[in-house]
Chains A and B, each alone.
Chain A
Amino acid sequence: MTALLTVAAVILLKLFALGLIRIYQGPSESDRILAVQLSGTTTVGILVLLSHVLAMPALIYVALLFVLFAALIGVAFVRHPGIGSSS
């Protein structure tokens, strides 16, 4: 079971590397931030797998933090922090 989960984590990491192509190529800003969100989701998946493989339950909290901050990053991308209305 552990071997299977390790293989799954390696595959997810390689998918993360593939997602980097979209982050690098873009072309638009939204493409890039969505690719970041995708890599964040992949990282959450890897962390959940690692918490089981390495027997470190605390990694679930790290995954939880990434989920929370992924939403915050999305808001920070669309909102202007200063005055006036923003799109």
Chain B
Amino acid sequence: MTLFDSVLALLIAILAWRSVTAPDLYRGIVLFITLGLMLALSWARLDAPDLALAEAAIGAGLLGILLLSTWRVLQRAAPRQGSDEPASYAVRWLAVVGSTVFGGTVAVALYGLQVGSDRAGAEALASLDLAGIDQPVTAVLLNFRSYDTLLEMGVLLMALIGALLIRSPLAYEPWHGDTAVESPLMSVLAKVFTPIVVLVGIFLVWAGAYGPGGAFQGGAVLAGAGVLLLLCRRLYGDADATLLLRGLLVLGVTAFIVIGLLLMPWQGAFLAYPPGLVYVLLVVIEFSLAVSIALSLLLLFTGTHAVRAVRS
């Protein structure tokens, strides 16, 4: 295994280096996707299957698709006006100083870490019985540190709002042609493959209750199904959001807060769950989080306020 690890570390370093120094955009994207594959392997070697799942779904998968689609749009668009001159020396030196300071600070912080002092982790594992759910990662995310996860969902919403404000949409008009006479592969992908992707997504959300998986990984896979439908022209990005869609976007945060507040009179604390109901409540929260995450990621892909089905 030592040989495996050293080859893996070497490959990650080479791929990371090459993906930022690639001569053109497309090569950089391709190398970045390949880097994602290796990073998932490294998470697997670090005993973190949850992160390997997240890396596979978000890092290599969705992000790779987003980059490839952006590259397609850029390729089709008119050649960019303006100069491609490198930044001035002052800016470059500023970047060098900034990265060096940041890297140095991280190195100092890492050096200060004491091995074996992860008492919070040990305590979480020891009190797993209280969490009412077998999977340590889910127990920490949704029960012990649920406040962090709630705020994280808020951050995701903020990111979506910010992205919608500043970026131009990627997929924004309905397909007027007849979908039936299009490439036969597309209808098979939309009708046969998409349900399988959705099924895997739902399975991953549900798997979070007893093993690696969870709302983020499952939500990313569900968003992947949506992206597939977009690329197959079964969905398109639309400018006007319906109330239902906005409701689904905030469903995760709302479910979290409502359940937390409703149980307050009995539990005496925000986001404290009664022992008997913990499993059911966490699964409900997890699925509502997954819906919001999937929709947010899909809208981050289209860059529009809504998605709509193409009427055939």
Contact = CB atoms under 8 A, between A and B. Distances in A.
Interface of A: 6, 9-10, 13-14, 16-17, 20, 23-24, 26, 29, 32-33, 35-36, 39-40, 43, 46-47, 50, 53-54, 56-59, 61-62, 64-66, 68-69, 71-73, 75-77, 79-83, 85-86
Nearest to A32: B30
A69 B224 contact: yes
A83 B173 contact: yes
A14 to B, nearest CB: 7
A3 to B, nearest CB: 10
Contacts of A10: 3-4, 7
A39 B34 contact: yes
Contacts of B1: 6, 53
Main secondary structure of the interface of B (DSSP, over half): helix
Contact of B60 (A59, A69, A76, A82): A69
B37 to A, nearest CB: 4
Interface of B: 1, 3-4, 7-8, 11, 14-15, 18, 26-27, 30-31, 33-34, 37-38, 40-41, 44-45, 47, 49-50, 52-53, 56-57, 60-62, 64-65, 68-69, 72-73, 76, 170-173, 175, 177, 189, 193, 196-197, 200, 204, 207, 211-213, 217, 221, 224, 227-228, 230-232, 302
Nearest to A85: B177
Interface centre among A32, A53, A61, A71 (most CB of B within 10 A): A61
